[in-house]
Structure 1
Amino acid sequence: MKRMIPCFALTPKANSFWLALFLLLAAPAFAQKKVTIPITTEKNVLVLQVGEDKRVGIIYFGPKLKNASEYEQIPGMYRKGDDYSGVLNAAYTTAGSRNLVEPAIQVTHADGNTSLALEYVSHQEKKENDNVTLTSILLKDPAYDLNVTLYYKVYHQENVVEQWSAIRNNEKGAVTLHKYASANLYLSAPEYWLNHYHGDWAREMQPDEEQLTAGIKVLDSKLGTRANLYQPPTFMVSLGKPATEEEGNVLYGSLEWTGNFKFDLELDPLHNLRIIAGINPYASEYALAPAKEFSTPPFVYTFSDKGKGEASRNMHRWARKYKLLNGTGKRLTLLNNWEATYFDFNETKLTALIKDTKKLGVDMFLLDDGWFANKYPRNSDKAGLGDWQENVKKLPHGIGYLVKQAQKNDVKFGIWVEPEMVNPKSALYEQHPEWVIRQPTRPEHLYRNQLVLDLSNPQVQDFVFGVLDKIMTENPRVAFFKWDCNAVIYNAHSAYLSKQSHLYVDYVKGFYNVLERFRAKYPKLPMMLCSGGGGRVDYGALQYFTEFWLSDNTDPLERIFIQWEYSYFFPAIAHDNHVTDWGKQPLKFRTDVAMMGKLGFDIVVSKLGKEDLQFAQDAVKTYDSFSDVVWHGDLYRLVNPRQNDFAALMYVDAAQSKAIMFNYLVSNRYNAGSPSPVKLSGLDPNKKYKVKELNLYPGTRSALPADAVYSGNYLMNIGVNPLVNAQRTSVILELTETK
């Protein structure tokens, strides 16, 4: 029904009276109604609201309320002080206007103006399927023709959100982007506790937890390629108090970008937490030409009010279903030759190792570094990288001969490559010095005796794609690539780019371009993302890979801790774990640890004793019997090795009919072990489960009762003692539903 404005033929004075009265009564009808935009998952919600000044702010983030209309009442409940700028809770904070805190976006317009304001224009919600919804919010500068669209992709059942921004320049000249974050979040709590990670080669994922106080905590990387070497692009924030495995409010965040990243965590004057996540703007001012759009990489996050365990399971389910290549499929067990031969091998040695692959019972033989280059043979890491032709002395009959040998032995064949890098001592370096990232006026500084090729250059992209494509074209039965990346970017300079500040960004875009081309031609070929360990793992890269190499540190005791920390963000099906000769633990301990993911071996099978060989062969069969539960089940971390003498965790299948529990001694203190039963999680309390010990070493018997049966209710309230001690340092239990 339309509201009609009355018209009176009265005196001017009377008309003024009635007009004023009408406007007073009709004012609510003309007042602009606040636009509220809830970004809702099954359990949680991020609520955005458009103010009277058309600014989009965040008014709530946390568990979803039953009555959506009550979100509008939340801001009025806070009495923390005055926001003099009026923009502290901005959904995408701009620089150069009235903002006084860390911005999400900073630009210089075509006319040189450095201010930016973004006002709400419109928003829309698009349902991609029953579980996935994409909400987009269009913002525009009222004084300049520059648009920003904020995207929120919601995975409803998984309680996961991917957020990114798209910046479009409709001005007549180029706009310079100084900062261009993917996400800007705003949280409110009495206290904030940050969990983040640091490390180096063979020391990945060392955790730190600290309370955030006034000011800005910055997590970032400026390494270019192996961006995660010192710090990964992942973190968690607990609200109110440090979250435990099963209790507390916690946000997990991770940037899907295989390059320099930056997270700003700022406690503002009102004691609210502002989180800004995106590409690191360091040395990366980006010139955006007219009619062009710059899309930032997604920042993925999940929130749980039931502790870290639920947040992990959210991320794992999302990753397996939507992000990780073939995340709901299978993985190949393997034997790698690296620690058996290093660079010293030939066809005869490799053929024997292929036969050992069959003897061991795994699916595939993986040929590692050292198989290529002739002018400067790859007999060490000092030469040959970049010259991707088979070394005629080591492999006179080429890769094809080895592929056939694998086929004869009924196993698959995989191969190592590092196509982004080059040794100065190589034919490629001599032929194309302009393809190498290096400052022309500075001495070269090498990392692992190598330099980085300039993937911002389309010719280099063609070359890198060609390395893999040539192997596959000539040897279509190659079943696996191990893609390594060992160098960081020193002396950043591109002979190809006219704007050097584009290098760090365009390198990653070039890397993705190559992978897009490769996946278009070889969509299902398994590939390991390797970078001297976990030096570049993120979900931006993992969408092209089936798995990643966590660390070159394969000491099983160290790996328990490394794998534990990675498990917060990445599912077990993505973890490549190899049994090697690192560490002093027995073969059983090393194998049991490697089973918490995708199992591989990097040992000399021919040197195994009779019992060790029998154990390894039986272990592969045992692993095959339960690997599906590890790869696709829900993870429950039960006993933290950083706080106890032993570690315990378990995987439970979706039907709650089968579970695998891993237990490891991590202390050599007197009488260390499991003194009490471990309470299990994720089971059906109304079901009964038979508990059986698996993967026993030949000649040993389990210390647990044979064929013991317990209710799920008993196991989750009382538990089971795996009897870990100095004589039983590694114990795997299988729980199977019984009628």
Structure 2
Amino acid sequence: MKLSTSLHRKFTLFSKSLLFCICAYSFQSVKAQKTTIPVETKNTALVLQADKDNNLSIIYFGKKLNNSSEYGFVQSMYHQNTDYTGVAASPYTPAGSRNLFEPAIEVTHADGNNSLDLKFVNTNTEKISDDVALTSVVLKDPAYDFRVTLFYKTYFRENVIEQWSEIKNNEKGNVVLHKFASADLYLQGKTFYLKQYHGDWAQEMQPEEEQITHGIKTLDSKLGTRESLFQPPVFMVSINQPSNEDNGEVLLASVEWSGNYRTDLELDNKDNLRIISGINNYASDYPLQPNKTFTTAKFLYTLSNNGTGEASRQLQSWARNYRILDGNGGRLTLLNNWESTYFDFDEAKLKQLFSDTKKLGVDLFLLDDGWFGNKYPRNSDNAGLGDWQENKKKIPNGIASLVKDATAADVKFGIWIEPEMVNPKSELYEKHPDWVIKQPKRPEYYFRNQLELDLSNPKVQDFVFGVVDSLFIKSPNIAYIKWDCNSVIYNAYSAHEDNQSKLYVDYVEGLYNVLKRIRAKYPKVPMMLCSGGGDRVDYAALQYFTEYWPSDNTDPLERVFIQWEYSYFYPAIASANHVTDWGKQPLKYRVDVAMMGKLGFDIPVSKLDAKDLSFCQSAVKTYDSIKNVVWHGNQYRLQSPWKNDVASIMYVDSTASSAVVFNYLVNNRYNSGSKLPIVLRGLDATKKYRVREINLYPGTHSAIKQNEVYSGNFLMTVGLNPHADAYRTSVILKVEEAR
């Protein structure tokens, strides 16, 4: 039987409509079985998705798409090897079940079972402000009452994400945490390149870059404190090709933790990169009691599609706005006595230094190491640490009297402390040997003739807090604290801990407890984070400090390189830079380098000749005129010291109306110098700018035609030659809008 043409058309149309409805229903059904969780900033998206079996995966991490509904199409565009596990892209990969790669979390349950499976339960996003949001994702083991909540805190304008987890034990007995990372990222690309750092005392932030190959690359610290001494926690990963300042997709990241950390970078069988980062689980199996929660350290990252320059500016902006204490405020310039007197001083010498501080024109005098100890006077670094009473021979009238004398000289007073440490040759060690980290059956082994106090012990925390508190109780007008930390943990053992595997974690938590108490009582006092150089710099510590000490190496030529690398991760306002007698560079070079941050002096002012003193006094005034641009402006690294005769760094204010360009000769070979113009960045192409050289040494003249006017277009296309060479080794240019 044949249908009529009209009836056939109607039947065909009906069939197609029915098929469309079935397909649409099936699509909606599948869609309904999936939960998509976009974690977005202005330009970046990290997208999680739970499938019908509640397995949670990262389905996208990269540049934010205009249409969020298209994230679901991403994985269909990848035709890579098979994921045999189904959890390779998990945002928090557990150990012991079907995972075949490095886990983010590994546990032993109360019944002895070592397996863990984490299924998606629910998610929630809370809007904290116009810029900040917090997304939480709850995961649970279906066989055990064990939960993990993943947290993603987004800073929209800054394109920064902080990530951490809360691990909750609801079982009837203790669960042992063998690994407890903060984050587990999953990156897809053709190739990946890692830029990491290594170093030692006076050799901080030495960069190395390599293509990531299959296997696991681990960056870590096992030092207990001073976690950055050999390998700082910061790193970069470039996707598809090595990035430069203005081009390439690059991730800048770091663990926020002031003790042992660990970052694993693993290229899997699909050629995708897994980044697992957090507290180091080395010697740190952590028992978690029933109904208790363990909160991991935070993992911080920012992603840029326009090179390392943009990524670092994002991170610097975030740090000023949200992390560094008083990040958008001011800083005190200072004169430190350390390299003038070392341990050899008395009240008369210090009073003269107060006068020198005023003469120099800086804000504050900083009294460094050596002011304490009586039974064991602090006349060298082998005695006195822990005995925080004023040395009666050096300071018979006490710190309060010095503060009063400094105030009379119209300068502020700051002081050095190292309250976490103890010399075996001290009254504290004699009275409280149980407060010291040391193995009872091993010989003591010293780092700079000292040992660590056991900050896992609440009594020790009270003591360390009391060191700071008593100073302010006696001398409320103390205006600055330099907090040092020169030792690492050898022979790790705590007389306080019932389980020694908790020590490394509990020490750091104890430190934070002390710092929280200090900031609760003294919220605004500036404090420098120091550790034998830049060996403890991280964003968990910097929330309690206004600045950090990048390195004991103050040779200005070395500092150009050290400060260059730090600047990728930390803003200039946080970098404490002192002018010293280190190195062979002229005084002007030393001062110019120190201006790229928070300026300080550590030189014998009384020994400066008339020209040098006049220059330093003038330089302090010049610094006052440019410091806000340096501290709060956008930084552009124009020309690398690693690849050029001349290094060039630029800071531009938020309105692109004022800028400062620092230029340094870093190659002393014959005829080295700035042969080509250096292209500027961050200006407004439509504006006109007046350029002049500043901070000239007395009696010298600029090779730059002063007050010449250029268009922003010219300066950012052709550039400007600072005429840096063997006769002009350091050149600072001020660029101002010509109105």
Contact 2:652 2:682 in 1 (8 A): yes
Quote the residue 2:60 is aligned against.
60
- Structure 1 residue 465 and structure 2 residue 468: aligned? no
Q: What is the Cα deviation at residue 30 of structure 1?
A: 5.2
Q: What is the Cα deviation at residue 49 of structure 1?
A: 0.7
Quote the residue 2:8 is aligned against.
none
Distance 1:352 1:29 in 2: 81
Distance 1:218 1:23 in 2: 50
Deviations 1:516-548 (A, max 9, x none): 000000001000000000110000000000000
Aligned CA distance change for structure 1 residues 185 and 26 (closer, same or farther; 3 Å):
closer
- Structure 1 residue 522 and structure 2 residue 525: aligned? no
SS of residue paired to 1:543:
helix
Distance 2:660 2:53 in 1: 56
Quote the residue 1:393 is aligned against.
393
Distance 1:101 1:346 in 2: 61
Distance 1:479 1:290 in 2: 45
Q: What is the Cα deviation at residue 188 of structure 1?
A: 0.6
Distance 2:494 2:724 in 1: 56
SS of residue paired to 1:631:
helix
Deviations 1:447-501 (A, max 9, x none): 0000000000000000000000000010000000000000000000000000100
SS of residue paired to 2:544:
coil
Quote the residue 1:148 is aligned against.
148
Distance 1:306 1:25 in 2: 40
Quote the residue 1:357 is aligned against.
357
Distance 1:706 1:497 in 2: 66
SS of residue paired to 2:541:
helix
Quote the residue 1:509 is aligned against.
509
Quote the residue 1:10 is aligned against.
none
Q: What is the Cα deviation at residue 247 of structure 1?
A: 0.2
Q: How does 1:159-558 map onto structure 2 within 5 Å?
A: 159-558=159-558
SS of residue paired to 1:49:
strand
Aligned CA distance change for structure 1 residues 397 and 302 (closer, same or farther; 3 Å):
same
Distance 2:236 2:581 in 1: 34
Contact 2:108 2:176 in 1 (8 A): yes
Quote the residue 2:596 is aligned against.
596
Gaps of 5+ in 2: 1-20
Distance 2:336 2:230 in 1: 27
Aligned CA distance change for structure 1 residues 86 and 707 (closer, same or farther; 3 Å):
same
SS of residue paired to 2:38:
strand
Structure 2 counterpart of 1:231, one-letter code: Q
Quote the residue 2:4 is aligned against.
none
% identical equivalent positions: 65
Contact 2:455 2:461 in 1 (8 A): yes
SS of residue paired to 2:36:
strand
4+ aligned runs moved over 3 Å, structure 1: 22-32
Structure 2 counterpart of 1:54, one-letter code: N
Distance 1:105 1:25 in 2: 39
SS of residue paired to 1:539:
coil
Aligned CA distance change for structure 1 residues 685 and 176 (closer, same or farther; 3 Å):
same
Quote the residue 1:8 is aligned against.
none
SS of residue paired to 1:47:
strand
Deviations 1:295-319 (A, max 9, x none): 1111010000000000000000000
Structure 1 counterpart of 2:70, one-letter code: E
Q: How does 1:567-586 map onto structure 2 within 5 Å?
A: 567-586=567-586
- Structure 1 residue 738 and structure 2 residue 738: aligned? yes
Distance 2:229 2:610 in 1: 40
Aligned CA distance change for structure 1 residues 348 and 26 (closer, same or farther; 3 Å):
closer
Distance 1:206 1:499 in 2: 37
Q: What is the Cα deviation at residue 377 of structure 1?
A: 0.3
Structure 1 counterpart of 2:703, one-letter code: A
Q: How does 1:121-132 map onto structure 2 within 5 Å?
A: 121-132=121-132
- Structure 1 residue 717 and structure 2 residue 724: aligned? no
Q: What is the Cα deviation at residue 33 of structure 1?
A: 2.7
Q: What is the Cα deviation at residue 322 of structure 1?
A: 0.2
Structure 1 counterpart of 2:533, one-letter code: G
Contact 2:33 2:51 in 1 (8 A): no
Structure 1 counterpart of 2:690, one-letter code: K
Structure 2 counterpart of 1:415, one-letter code: I
TM-score, length of structure 2 as denominator length = 0.96
Distance 2:196 2:572 in 1: 20
Quote the residue 1:666 is aligned against.
666
Aligned CA distance change for structure 1 residues 98 and 379 (closer, same or farther; 3 Å):
same
Q: What is the Cα deviation at residue 27 of structure 1?
A: 5.8
Quote the residue 2:676 is aligned against.
676
RMSD: 1.1
Distance 2:89 2:386 in 1: 50
Q: What is the Cα deviation at residue 52 of structure 1?
A: 2.1
SS of residue paired to 2:413:
strand
SS of residue paired to 1:628:
helix
Contact 2:334 2:599 in 1 (8 A): yes
Distance 2:355 2:23 in 1: 91
Distance 2:192 2:705 in 1: 46
Distance 1:548 1:581 in 2: 20
Distance 1:407 1:104 in 2: 54
SS of residue paired to 1:74:
helix
Structure 1 counterpart of 2:634, one-letter code: D
Aligned CA distance change for structure 1 residues 500 and 736 (closer, same or farther; 3 Å):
same
Q: What is the Cα deviation at residue 25 of structure 1?
A: 9.9
SS of residue paired to 2:491:
coil
Distance 1:667 1:405 in 2: 45
Structure 1 counterpart of 2:480, one-letter code: F
Structure 2 counterpart of 1:448, one-letter code: R
Q: What is the Cα deviation at residue 400 of structure 1?
A: 1.1
Quote the residue 1:91 is aligned against.
91
Distance 1:646 1:720 in 2: 13
Distance 1:630 1:406 in 2: 29
Q: What is the Cα deviation at residue 706 of structure 1?
A: 1.7
Distance 1:27 1:690 in 2: 66
SS of residue paired to 2:440:
coil
Deviations 1:212-235 (A, max 9, x none): 001000000000011110000100
